[in-house]
Structure formats: C-alpha cells, structure tokens
Amino acid sequence: MGFGLLKVGNLLCLLFTIFMMGELWMVLLLKERKEPSELKLLRMLKARGGLVDDSRFWNLEKGYQGEVLFDKWFSALDGEWIVVNDLLLEYAGSLFQIDSLVIGADRVYLFEVKNFEGDFYLDEGKWMSISNNEIKNPLLQLQRCETALRQLLRSLGYQTSIESSLIFINPEFTLFNCSPKLPFVFCSQLNRFSKKLLKQSSSSARLNARPSRLAEKLCELHMEKSPYERLPDYRYEELRKGIVCVGCGGMDMKLVYMSFCCINCSAKQDCSVAVLRAIYEFYHLFPNMQISTNQIYDWTGGLISKKAIRRVLKANFKLIGHAKSSKYVIDKV
Ligand SMILES: [Zn+2]
C-alpha cells in the first residue's frame, strides 16, 4: 500500500491513471489551502504599527495554523480520497465556509477545524470558557454548514451522505460536560479516528469519475473573495516605514553589505528580495497609490538607495508614462 499527495489540473485523467496503478492508494489534493488574504494584510499592518486591536489578527492566525496542522495530519493518512480545502460556497443566497471537504467513494466528510486552547465546558448548549465567557457555538456552525452543503449537493444531483466532524486539533484543549455522541474529534482521538476513516475507505468501492466530477464542480463554485473580510481603517502616513523582518516580523533591520539583517532574530535576506517584498506589501496595502522610485524610497524608510530601488523596479515591473508622470505597474501579483 502506498501513498501519494498530488495537485491536479485534470482530475478525471489523473483518476484514470490511478485506477491503472491498481493497489496504490492516493489522497488527491484538488484544492490547496492558501493563507487568507485578510490575514496577510493584517500581518503587514501589524508589523507597521497599523493595528490598534490585533485580536482579529490572532484569531485568524491561530485558526489558520490549526488548519495547516490538520492538513499535515490528513496528508499522512492512507486511503483513497479527494481533498478540497477551504471552500466558500453559496446556496439559496446564504454563504458557507468549509475548512476541509474530503470526498470518498460512498460519502463526503465535512471537517471543521478548531484550534481552541484551554479549558471549556458545555452548559445547556452554551459554550463557556472556564472563566465563564461564552464563545460562539462551533457545533451550530457545523450543523448550518452541513445543511447548506446537503442542499447544494442535492441541487447538483448528488444524494451522497455527509459525515461532519468538529476537529479540535490543539492538544491543550479540554471540553468538559460533553456527550461522547457529539461529532467531536479531540486531539487525543486522532489516531483512532484515522483508523476509522481508513476502514471506511477500504470497505467501500474505489473512487470513480462521479465523486471526482463533484469535486471539480465544487471548485468551480468556490468564491475567491470572502465578504467576511473586514480590514481596519489605515492611512499611509500612520504606518511605520522600513523593511519588515521575514523571521520575527519586527522592523529593526540593518543593511550589511547587500543583505538586511534583523537585530532581534538575526534573520537575513538579500537586499533586492527584501525591497521586492516591501514593494508587494505597499501594492497590497495601497492598491490605488502609484509605485515609483521616490514612493518606495519613502516606504522603505530611506534604508536603500534610490538607485538600488530603481534597479529592483525595472527588473520586476513595467514602467509606463514619462518623466514625472511615470509609474511602475504590476501585471500580475
Ligand atoms: Zn527578525
């Protein structure tokens, strides 16, 4: 029994190849997880002192790290599945998000991943932290998601059964007063849960074209832009200028020969790479502002010569216009 993790363009072709491979079992990753754009932007703002309240950043960061841990765990499993990560779908005017959807031959697994940490308890359906603060009920979220997914699948002509689970990926999480019948998988149960999944996969038929068509259809229906994104107000003048460290996210950088070195964590990055990164940050944070040598010189806090900035801009962007009205544009980011 083998294992493979593949990214595919034409899934149907690939599945045919797999059937030809006989006993080789595969986890097919049809849609990779990407770091949410909101999280990327909040990280840029945080580094430059543009976040008064960073709770949203930490929530997103923690959630994303949990999902990455889940992906790592799942990719190491045996079995034959198609994995579609991070879907934003719509049914009857309502949006729903799926952390991880795993399509097997005879059923669909819906996984909602939570990276909660600490002690919590259930009190008549309410989710409470040990310090008696109520938190958003993740079970309700899972149930709503399952209902919407079932309706969507039916509308696409699929009566496939759905098995939903809340995965608590963090080993430091404890939930008191909960029934073992609830669809929860705690970190300590992951090994047993993987055995159950494998058993279900090996006792069902091999994957055929129908589930793979469903996976492709769901990817087509996925919406890229999340309306849940909510960026705080920020202004160029208020953000700290300079180069952000790739290691620690700080801005105590010094230029040593042709590299930027971090005074805090000693991370090093080639000067032109660091400038290019700073330009992309600028572009994402201020898409309506013009990219010019002088502008980037100001954005990078005067740490790099205009000559060096011009060189990076010329090598990576297209210059349009003349003299004072000239600006650099990015074809694709
Ligand atoms: Zn650093």
The reported pLDDT for the residue numbered 29 is: 80
**100 forms bridges with which residues in the sheet?**
85, 111
Residues with CB under 5 A from ligand 1 (ion): 245, 247-248, 250, 262, 264-265, 267
- Within a domain: 37: yes
Last residue of a domain, one of 163, 188, 221: 221
The reported pLDDT for the residue numbered 330 is: 74
Indicate if 151 and 286 belong to the same structural domain: no
From ligand 1's centre to the CA of 261, what distance in Å? Answer: 8
From ligand 1's centre to the CA of 84, what distance in Å? Answer: 34
The reported pLDDT for the residue numbered 25 is: 56
Least confident of 5-9, 47-51, 161-165: 5-9
- Given a cut of 80, whether residue 38 has pLDDT beyond it is yes
Instruction: Find out whether 327 and 286 touch, Cβ atoms under 8 Å.
Output: no
From ligand 1's centre to the CA of 157, what distance in Å? Answer: 52
Indicate if 42 and 105 belong to the same structural domain: yes
Instruction: Find out whether 85 and 99 touch, Cβ atoms under 8 Å.
Output: yes
Last residue of a domain, one of 221, 251, 283: 221
- Within a domain: 231: no
From ligand 1's centre to the CA of 265, what distance in Å? Answer: 4
From ligand 1's centre to the CA of 40, what distance in Å? Answer: 17
- Given a cut of 60, whether residue 299 has pLDDT beyond it is yes
The reported pLDDT for the residue numbered 295 is: 94
From ligand 1's centre to the CA of 36, what distance in Å? Answer: 23
- Within a domain: 226: no
Cβ-count burial of 257 within 10 angstroms (0-12 exposed, 13-18 middle, 19+ buried)? Answer: exposed
From ligand 1's centre to the CA of 242, what distance in Å? Answer: 13
Number of domains observed in the structure of the chain: 2
Instruction: Find out whether 229 and 37 touch, Cβ atoms under 8 Å.
Output: yes
Question: Chain-wide mean pLDDT for the chain?
Answer: 87
Counting residues of the chain whose pLDDT is more than 90, the rounded percentage is 67
Residue 187 sits at φ, ψ, to 5 deg, of -55, -40
From ligand 1's centre to the CA of 85, what distance in Å? Answer: 31
The reported pLDDT for the residue numbered 9 is: 42
- Given a cut of 90, whether residue 109 has pLDDT beyond it is yes
From ligand 1's centre to the CA of 243, what distance in Å? Answer: 10
Indicate if 44 and 146 belong to the same structural domain: yes
- Within a domain: 14: yes
The reported pLDDT for the residue numbered 270 is: 93
From ligand 1's centre to the CA of 170, what distance in Å? Answer: 27
Indicate if 16 and 137 belong to the same structural domain: yes
Comparison of pLDDT for 52 and 226, the residue scoring more: 52
d(CA 193, CA 180): 14
Indicate if 160 and 299 belong to the same structural domain: no
What domain range includes position 282? 241-329
H/E/C letters for each residue in 292-315? Answer: CHHHHHHHCCCCCCHHHHHHHHHH
Under the banding of pLDDT at 50, 70 and 90, the label for residue 331 is low
Least confident of 11-15, 53-57, 92-96, 206-210: 11-15
Summarize pLDDT for 47-95 with one digit per residue, the tens: 999 988 899 999 999 999 999 999 999 998 888 889 999 999 999 989 9
Indicate if 189 and 285 belong to the same structural domain: no
Under the banding of pLDDT at 50, 70 and 90, the label for residue 19 is very low
From ligand 1's centre to the CA of 252, what distance in Å? Answer: 7
From ligand 1's centre to the CA of 255, what distance in Å? Answer: 13
Indicate if 121 and 251 belong to the same structural domain: no
Indicate if 185 and 261 belong to the same structural domain: no
From ligand 1's centre to the CA of 302, what distance in Å? Answer: 19
- Tokens (6 digits) for 167: 């995965």
The whole model's pTM is what? 0.83
* DSSP labels, 230-286: -PPP--GGGSPPS---TTTS---EEEETTEEEETTT--EEEHHHHHHHHHHHHHHH-
Indicate if 207 and 283 belong to the same structural domain: no
Summarize pLDDT for 120-144 with one digit per residue, the tens: 999 998 999 999 999 999 999 999 9
Summarize pLDDT for 258-290 with one digit per residue, the tens: 899 999 999 999 999 999 999 999 999 999 998
From ligand 1's centre to the CA of 328, what distance in Å? Answer: 29
